[in-house]
Structure 1
Amino acid sequence: MKNLFFIFLIMIFSKFSASQAQNLSKHLWKNRVILILSEDNAAFQRQMLAFKANEKGMSERSLIVYNLKPGEYQQVIPKSEIQKSKSLFEKFKQANTPFEVILIGLDGGVKLRQKDFLSCEKLFATIDSMPMRSAEIKNRD
């Protein structure tokens, strides 16, 4: 009976850990993901205003935006509930700065990492220069 209970606990823990790891992998080959790692609310708000002002361009490029903080994360475009995670912030945090923006491509690779405000012009130019984006534009026409 003890073994069965122990196996049950392991299964629950494994499912919980896997769900945290898969939160971003669900976007693989579907969406480009922007991660905003921010401990500075003013910088985060400025970045979000820029993204919301360019909603059409964000949508055309299949962009999803997450805000990662120590211990939690939230998909902010489109908006979802705050989730708890002790590892997601640490997994992506590299710079010793209060603000960082990371672009993850359709293939799951990091395409851009910046320690300050990311203009939509630079973001869109970076994405539009990618081969996958060129194919999307050709297929759309």
Structure 2
Amino acid sequence: MKRLLLMMPLLMSCVATGSSQLEDIAELRWEKRVFVIHSGEPKDVIALLKQNSYEIDDRHITWFVISDGQLQSNHVGEISSSFTRTALNDYFDSDYGVVLIGKDGGIKHRQNELELNTLFNKIDAMPMRRSEMRSREI
């Protein structure tokens, strides 16, 4: 019984963590690289991202496409209703564009339009990504 009582706070924190919504990109730090895309043509952007899903998954990328206040993403969990506003405020002035955020949470690259090959090359040159690729070769 004592063990159960001692483990109860741990179990409760696991349950609470599992059911939470993504509030901020910082919550993905050390797990995912992130594309935040503010676009006037979301259908074209999303189609391109989906066509390149293997490369995106291989590089541990979660993407968020924001258009007219609407959000679409490949994130598997729930996303807070305040996420879109926070992302726009944190990463964009008023223009459309693309922001690449590394696993360390830092902004690594900005583009005016989505150019996946450039983003993939930037990611593949990152030390953490190079380490990931080397560990697969072993």
Q: 1:77 aligned to 66, 74, 77, which one? A: 74
Paired residue for 1:9?
Answer: none
Between the aligned partners of 1:101 and 1:34, the Cα distance in structure 2 is 7
Between the aligned partners of 2:118 and 2:38, the Cα distance in structure 1 is 18
| Letter of the structure 2 residue corresponding to residue 27 of structure 1 | L
SS at match of 1:87: helix
Paired residue for 2:48?
Answer: 50
> Structure 1 residues 80, 22: CA separation in 2 closer, same or farther (over 3 Å shift)?
closer
Between the aligned partners of 2:99 and 2:76, the Cα distance in structure 1 is 18
- Deviation digits for residues 31-75 of structure 1, max 9, x if unmatched? 00110123x1xx2221211111111000000000112357x5645
Instruction: Report the TM-score when normalising by structure 2.
Output: 0.71
Question: Where in structure 2 are the equivalents of 1:118-137 lying within 5 Å?
Answer: 118-137=114-133
SS at match of 1:26: helix
Instruction: Report the TM-score when normalising by structure 1.
Output: 0.70
8 Å contact from structure 1 (residues 102, 114) kept in 2: yes
Paired residue for 1:138?
Answer: 134
Question: Where in structure 2 are the equivalents of 1:81-120 lying within 5 Å?
Answer: 83-85=80-82, 86-94=85-93, 96-97=94-95, 99-116=96-113, 118-120=114-116
| Letter of the structure 1 residue corresponding to residue 106 of structure 2 | G
Gaps of 5+ in 1: 1-18
Paired residue for 1:35?
Answer: 36
Between the aligned partners of 2:67 and 2:42, the Cα distance in structure 1 is 11
Q: Among the aligned pairs, what percent are the same residue?
A: 30
Between the aligned partners of 1:33 and 1:128, the Cα distance in structure 2 is 14
8 Å contact from structure 1 (residues 74, 80) kept in 2: no
Between the aligned partners of 2:67 and 2:44, the Cα distance in structure 1 is 16
8 Å contact from structure 1 (residues 69, 89) kept in 2: no
Paired residue for 2:57?
Answer: 59
Question: What is the root-mean-square deviation in Å for CA atoms of aligned residues?
Answer: 2.5
Between the aligned partners of 1:79 and 1:73, the Cα distance in structure 2 is 17
Gaps of 5+ in 2: 1-19
